[in-house]
Chains A and B, each alone.
Chain A
């Protein structure tokens, strides 16, 4: 029994405009590699957490987006590896946010588009991780940053939601902002703080001096 026979009949599909044949169990990435398809960019972790291998995927009349390393080949599908996302448009540094009391106002300054969500669900449809992106953005706009950040817990920053957003909200970055300020302002673990205090009171030892 040959390997081909063991893994079933070959699947025919199109990747970056090139017709290819692949084994049934292959991912789109493997199929592209096996066929020497050009312009296969953005492949990284191969397990769906780096968010780099963004593809446009056509199945019949339906065209959507996905991550290539998580997409198995299917007969007749068309795949295009998308260019990497655009540079981030929203600028902030956490250390500039010194006062937690004006954080809502600062959020609106940094992400003014977030409040303009038109509820088209494009972000939700684009998310390869099944995140309720739109709800997360709404929570952030309402100032519920902890809950908003939690909604984005499994976000891999592929930014497909960003590309899909007609109001240019950059939802993935909104979610990350919410997670970051939650830690920055609220994560104060006693066991860590106690140990840091002990270290501060110790005399300096070898190997701990700063360069």
Chain B
């Protein structure tokens, strides 16, 4: 049974192999998922004891953070300088920038804060593209059906309708910000299919779509007269009004000198992204360093309802080696372009364009059942047959996937000559803060946009919908926040919500030792860069 092959032996077998075998009979998707998807690993889930989602299932490592103590006490806020703004955006990725620009377009004074550098986010790493139903045979309805079906019908139809309806205008808006997309010789936007789509709908900028998007948005934000940006400032807590029912700002900690700043705002937009750096279930991640789920923690403590806390996306094709790139993505675009997945025996084992959760589960099955390939540097994986694709379509890799080639060069591999070893990697948080079509959470004054928000992708996201969501819902949240609450601003800022959460923890008998948000993974020189460590 466990006849896994070494890398060299498998490579030799691959080279000797002729055309790949036909696809085996597909396994029932539900059985496949429940048997092999990491969400179903024994012990992976727990039940939340406190907060708006008490009694619901939640991934264990995330639950520990959601049910942790705050860093800040009222006494810490004495003498801390206060800055006022209309809209505070927390997070400097694509959603944060889109929200900031939209809020500024609607006349608001905007302050955008990020614990890293502006633009340093998962957005910049996105490769495949962004979905928009623009081809003659395609429609918003088909896009909606694909999104709901791939999400196992757990998504909120009204949010999905908003998402897909925004598609074409989002692309126009991006072009007006100065973003380029690949075109066909006749000038149309070039579209690709993706796993789980019924039409070619993913528009892209080679395989650097996220980089192109992020550098353009970053420049647009820094150049915009209405947006101020504070980099290297971590949001360590939100602020509430006297009743603890409305969000009125946030407490920031400077990474340079650990000093605190209070920002009072009429509306706060969380655009903090995902949580790949929690390395759920011990998986590697495709995410950037800041993806530590801070927004979920802050929102939950403030009383915002979250959803789908037991559902995460493991992208099927993370790199296995070299170690320095372990978990980093190989874009799904390469499978959309025709690359096959092969096991150690050189056989196909899954339709490569099934939704991501299905493909990931199938890869894990192959490896668990001894049909994986083991490199000397550790780990296990299956082949992504880039070389076969290049044989069938010479030159394609060089023209459309320069990032893949550049990255493989670092690994000392030429994907045009040999296949790449891949294994699922923690990629995306399917759920998040519950929002309405304007990005409003269940807490007044608090908005969420992008990966931190939930309800759109159900229990599985399809390629290209994340970039669409961050811009579409980023703009929606920005506009709504700018137009909300034209009172004279908050009179008093308190930590009432923190007291409430602390009381709940104590009553539930939970320990108060752990503090959250995490801000940075523990392996990043603990005690050196973190606030109050």
Contacts and interface: CB of A to CB of B under 8 A. Distances in A.
A and B touch in the complex (CB under 8 A): yes
A93 B476 CA distance: 22
Interface stretch (B27-35, B258-266, B321-329, B462-470): B321-329
Contacts, number: 190
A181 B407 CA distance: 29
Nearest to A97: B178
B97 to A, nearest CB: 13
Interface residues of B, number: 79
A206 B124 contact: no
A93 B225 contact: yes
Contacts of B165: 199, 205, 207-208
A43 B165 CA distance: 36
A208 B289 contact: no
Nearest to B166: A208
Interface stretch (A57-65, A115-123, A135-143, A152-160): A152-160
A94 B177 contact: yes
Interface string A151-191: 00111110000000000000001001001111110011111
A155 B328 CA distance: 19
Contacts of A149: 180
Best-buried of B180, B377, B403, B406 by chain A (most CB within 10 Å): B180
B369 interface: no
Contacts of A205: 161, 165
B390 to A, nearest CB: 21
Contacts of A70: 410
Interface string B160-200: 01100110110110011111110100111101000000000
Interface residues of A, number: 63
A182 B216 CA distance: 12
B284 to A, nearest CB: 11
B399 interface: no
B521 to A, nearest CB: 9
Contact of A180 (B117, B161, B177, B476): B177
Contact of A206 (B161, B216, B476): B161
Interface in A83-109: 84, 87-88, 91-94
Contacts of B73: none
Interface string B490-533: 00000000000000000000000000000000011111110000
A55 to B, nearest CB: 15
A44 B524 CA distance: 11
Given A187-B175, A207-B162, A195 B168 contact: yes
A196 B211 contact: no
A207 B178 contact: no
Given A94-B177, A180-B179, A207-B158, 20 more contacts: A25-B322, A33-B525, A34-B523, A47-B407, A48-B406, A50-B119, A149-B180, A157-B218, A179-B212, A189-B181, A191-B135, A191-B189, A192-B172, A192-B189, A196-B172, A205-B165, A207-B161, A207-B162, A208-B161, A211-B437
